[in-house]
Structure 1
Amino acid sequence: MMLSRALFAFLVTTSLLIGPGAYYVSAAEDAPKDQPTEAKREEKKDEKSSSKDHDKKKEHRDKHDHDKKDGDPKKKPSKEQDKPKNKPKQDKESKKDAKSDEPKKDDSQKDDSQKDDSKKDDSKKDDSKKDEPKKDEPKKDEPKKDEPKKDEPKKEMKPEAKSEPKKDADKKEEGKPQGEPTPAKTPEPKAEMKPEAAPDKPADKKPEEKKPEPKPEVSPLPKPAPKPDPRKMAITELSNVDADFAFQGEYYGKIHLPGGTSESAGLQIIARGDGNFVGRQLRGGLPGNGWYNDQKIDLTGKRAGDVLILTQGDYQVVVTNQKATIVNSAGDTLGVLTKVQRRSELLGLKPSSSAVVLFDGNSVEQFVNAKINDKGELQIGTETKNPVQDFRMHLEFRLPYMPFATGQGRANSGLYIQGRYEVQILDSFGLPGEFNECGSLYRTKSPDINMCFPPLSWQTYDVYFTAARFDSEGNKIIPARITVQHNGILVQDNYLIPNKTGAGKPEGPEPQTIKLQDHGNPVVFRNIWIEYLGGPVVSSTPEAETLPTPAKK
């Protein structure tokens, strides 16, 4: 009986609770959200009269709302489906509330919570629309619940705060986020990482800044070979000469003069480097062969390919194919001269029976610190072992081709007798023959004629020397005497040397050696021999003063 009564009471209370609740839910859905319902007005009046009953009902409503909120947020069942789930809890609460005579008030309060839930559902529907995101609308409705409940503890805010992130999560899962991202999920930290990439750029620029600094940019010192010092460039082999060398040299022939006469003429052409030339036309022939300091015509010109043109005013000499055509100012051809290669008559002269061979290409026993090149030629910078007084000497020398050099820098060396008197060795081909040129007593006496051949030609010196005489007290009583043949032609004829020449040693009675001067140019020697004509001490006797000299030619 007790069980049957309990079941009957349960069914009665359930019907009372469910029936009016369904009506108010539907009415709340149809009612506008902004207007307050009649249930809310009654609720405000009832709260003042029954505060204790209201607390019990509030606990029942909190449990009811909490059960709803604990459900799956993804599955949103209708409000009618939620009612059967809440039946057990409502039955327990109905037993407590059956004693009270206010079921309608409780139902109205439940309806209010359901209306709030419906408002939340409506807000979700509105948020799903992309036209106007309104995340804050549910928060605006929440204070409406709390306004009539000033005395109640704010327990309802905690579940609602938990439910809102669920709603946001549902919106993100549905792919419909309308509001701005929360600060924790904003890409701002990523944007802050971009400046961190900025230091990488200067790191990339550092190697670029080092590019101009690298050592490879420091170019090596230019080699002197491509652009040699013109004053030091010396060619010693015919295989290494330039194109100008073929035009340099001596030309000989006959020219026709006005009136039908003809005469011999010589031409000397000197290369000055880079196609530049100077020359001189000699009346009567070449030096030592028809011309003896006679009339001459000085010329200048420049090579253009295989043709060299030398001029003086309207007077012109055209050189090509080893021939020189002379044209006067009127345009008449006077004659054609042919290139010749002269050779000294004394070249290769063999030593006499009384001579001592100083160098024959094999032995250097007669010299100090002597060097021989790979062709068996004696190099400069040496001197004889034995001192000399009176002697006759033969030697042959060859000058390097130095087209850019001039003056004393053009194949310079010297034959220093006793270290006191210098017979100059120099490339003076085509020059006037000054006191410091080839065949001269350096800075003392010019040669009688300039017999210098072109460079890379073997030339000869034949020297006859008588030393100065001194008395017993060391006073000079007779000066030294010298005769020089250059390429077989007499250029110094029994000349009395007044004193030492140039940088020579002071004169004295002591015999001294013969030195081959090193002036920095690769001059070479061969076939050197000597005849000693006096003893180590020279007496002032008439026999010693008379030395044989070659006849003039």
Structure 2
Amino acid sequence: MTRLAALLLVLGGIAAPASAQNIEFLPGMEWDQPPVVTPGETDRDPPSDAVVLFDGKDMSAWENGEQWPVRDGIAFAGKGYVTSKQKFGDCQVHLEWSAPSNVKGDGQGRGNSGVFLMGIYEVQILDSYDNKTYADGQATAIYKQTPPLANAMRKPGEWNTYDIYWTCPKFNSSSQLEEPAYVTVVHNGVLVQNRFALRGDTAWNHPPRYVDIGPKGPIALQDHGNPVRFRNIWVREFEPPTGQRREPMMMNHSDGTTKTLAEIAAEE
């Protein structure tokens, strides 16, 4: 068997003779070790690198937070939006919310709020339990852009969990869009948005459009006149893995030698 044939067997996942089992493919990146993060005691608890925006005590992490009352560890939507004082880039957002158990109204008038990434891109909050409205305006919709993959709402008065994974849009030095924003959302353990590429902001009164506001932005919660409740809100930023580029190569563990794919191809 030639070395190139052995390479193809290894890369193709085909059972190879014993001599080929000593051949290891080394990719074109020597990766750095990822940072160590201590998880919370449960999946809903903040991990060690999270920024806690609401822990049941007060709304001091938010602009206008004094307008949202806190009782028994729960924040209630009050007068006006609240916006996090800290800005975030690519991030994971965890929050828990509950629509009023005393059901009033229907459609968009029932348990309406929203969580805004970078202050302008909305993941809808709405009591969508047995409450029909336009599909791209129900709970976990990317407002006016796409419905969720499923309606995973719990009954009014019960707590819903959003886990949002956000990738910021990327602009060049001339503020021209190079890459759109992406969002993945898990609602009560159910995947409802799968790396959706946003077409721009999520306004009610104009088509989506992108505006370069910088590499980071705040988290905002909407006051829509409904007494929606919130608890346990935290955010953790993340960055892509890092490493040093190199030529892809094969290592022969029987003698410790390495050769690049180009060298192997040249030998054939």
Give the TM-score band, short-chain normalised.
Answer: 0.5 to 0.7
* Native 8 Å contact 2:129 2:153 kept in 1: yes
Using the alignment, how far apart are the partners of 1:404 and 1:452 within structure 2? 17
Task: Give the aligned partner of residue 507 of structure 1.
Answer: 211
Task: Give the aligned partner of residue 222 of structure 2.
Answer: 517
Task: Give the aligned partner of residue 71 of structure 2.
Answer: 374
Using the alignment, how far apart are the partners of 1:348 and 1:533 within structure 2? 17
Query: How far is the alpha carbon of 1:378 from its aligned partner?
Result: 1.6
Is 1:452 matched with 2:165?
A: no
For 1:394-413, what aligned pairs fall within 5 Å after superposition? 394-413=94-113
* Native 8 Å contact 1:420 1:506 kept in 2: no
Task: Give the aligned partner of residue 495 of structure 1.
Answer: 196
Is 1:443 matched with 2:144?
A: yes
Task: Give the aligned partner of residue 59 of structure 2.
Answer: 364
Distance 1:378 1:347, change over 3 A: farther
Amino acid at match of 2:211: E
Using the alignment, how far apart are the partners of 1:353 and 1:463 within structure 2? 18
Distance 1:357 1:542, change over 3 A: closer
**More relative contact order in 1 or in 2 (CA 8 Å, sep 6+)?**
2
Using the alignment, how far apart are the partners of 1:347 and 1:413 within structure 2? 26
Query: How far is the alpha carbon of 1:404 from its aligned partner?
Result: 4.2
Alignment identity in percent? 37
Using the alignment, how far apart are the partners of 1:359 and 1:466 within structure 2? 22
Task: Give the aligned partner of residue 27 of structure 2.
Answer: none
For residues 461-480 of structure 1, give each alpha carbon's deviation from its aligned partner in whole angstroms, at most 9, with x where no partner exists. Answer: 00000000001111001000
* Native 8 Å contact 1:402 1:411 kept in 2: no
Query: How far is the alpha carbon of 1:382 from its aligned partner?
Result: 1.2
Using the alignment, how far apart are the partners of 1:404 and 1:432 within structure 2? 14
* Native 8 Å contact 2:166 2:184 kept in 1: yes
Distance 1:348 1:430, change over 3 A: farther
Partner of residue 86 from structure 2, selected from 386, 406, 413: 386
Amino acid at match of 1:384: S
Question: Tell me, which stretches of 5 or more residues in structure 2 are unaligned?
Answer: 1-40, 243-268
Query: How far is the alpha carbon of 1:402 from its aligned partner?
Result: 4.9
Amino acid at match of 1:367: W
Query: How far is the alpha carbon of 1:354 from its aligned partner?
Result: 1.0
Query: How far is the alpha carbon of 1:438 from its aligned partner?
Result: 0.5
Using the alignment, how far apart are the partners of 2:112 and 2:197 within structure 1? 24
Task: Give the aligned partner of residue 233 of structure 2.
Answer: 528
Aligned residue pairs: how many?
192
Distance 1:515 1:347, change over 3 A: farther
Give the TM-score normalised by structure 2. 0.66
* Native 8 Å contact 1:348 1:527 kept in 2: no
Task: Give the aligned partner of residue 178 of structure 2.
Answer: 477
Using the alignment, how far apart are the partners of 2:119 and 2:209 within structure 1? 6
Using the alignment, how far apart are the partners of 1:507 and 1:347 within structure 2? 37
Distance 1:425 1:440, change over 3 A: same
For 1:142-541, what aligned pairs fall within 5 Å after superposition? 349-370=44-65, 371-380=68-77, 381-431=81-131, 434-503=135-204, 506-510=210-214, 511-534=216-239
Distance 1:505 1:359, change over 3 A: farther
Query: How far is the alpha carbon of 1:507 from its aligned partner?
Result: 2.7
Query: How far is the alpha carbon of 1:393 from its aligned partner?
Result: 1.1
* Native 8 Å contact 2:160 2:187 kept in 1: yes
**1:365 aligned counterpart, secondary structure:** coil
Amino acid at match of 2:139: C
Distance 1:420 1:542, change over 3 A: farther
Using the alignment, how far apart are the partners of 1:502 and 1:512 within structure 2? 17
Amino acid at match of 1:378: A
Task: Give the aligned partner of residue 25 of structure 2.
Answer: none
**1:435 aligned counterpart, secondary structure:** helix
Greater strand share, structure number: 2
Using the alignment, how far apart are the partners of 1:456 and 1:401 within structure 2? 4
Query: How far is the alpha carbon of 1:403 from its aligned partner?
Result: 3.5
Using the alignment, how far apart are the partners of 2:195 and 2:53 within structure 1? 24
Using the alignment, how far apart are the partners of 1:517 and 1:526 within structure 2? 14
Using the alignment, how far apart are the partners of 1:348 and 1:409 within structure 2? 31
Using the alignment, how far apart are the partners of 2:42 and 2:84 within structure 1? 22
* Native 8 Å contact 2:90 2:168 kept in 1: yes
Query: How far is the alpha carbon of 1:356 from its aligned partner?
Result: 1.4
Distance 1:347 1:441, change over 3 A: farther
Using the alignment, how far apart are the partners of 2:188 and 2:42 within structure 1? 8
Amino acid at match of 1:361: G
For residues 146-178 of structure 1, give each alpha carbon's deviation from its aligned partner in whole angstroms, at most 9, with x where no partner exists. Answer: xxxxxxxxxxxxxxxxxxxxxxxxxxxxxxxxx
* Native 8 Å contact 1:423 1:440 kept in 2: yes
RMSD between aligned residues: 2.4
Using the alignment, how far apart are the partners of 1:420 and 1:387 within structure 2? 13
Query: How far is the alpha carbon of 1:363 from its aligned partner?
Result: 3.6
Amino acid at match of 1:350: D
Distance 1:496 1:409, change over 3 A: same
Query: How far is the alpha carbon of 1:530 from its aligned partner?
Result: 0.8
Question: Tell me, which stretches of 5 or more residues in structure 1 are unaligned?
Answer: 1-345, 535-540, 544-553
- Which of structures 1 and 2 has the bigger CA Rg? 1
* Native 8 Å contact 2:124 2:142 kept in 1: yes
Using the alignment, how far apart are the partners of 1:471 and 1:374 within structure 2? 45
* Native 8 Å contact 2:200 2:209 kept in 1: no
* Native 8 Å contact 2:87 2:118 kept in 1: yes
**1:428 aligned counterpart, secondary structure:** coil
Using the alignment, how far apart are the partners of 1:413 and 1:424 within structure 2? 7
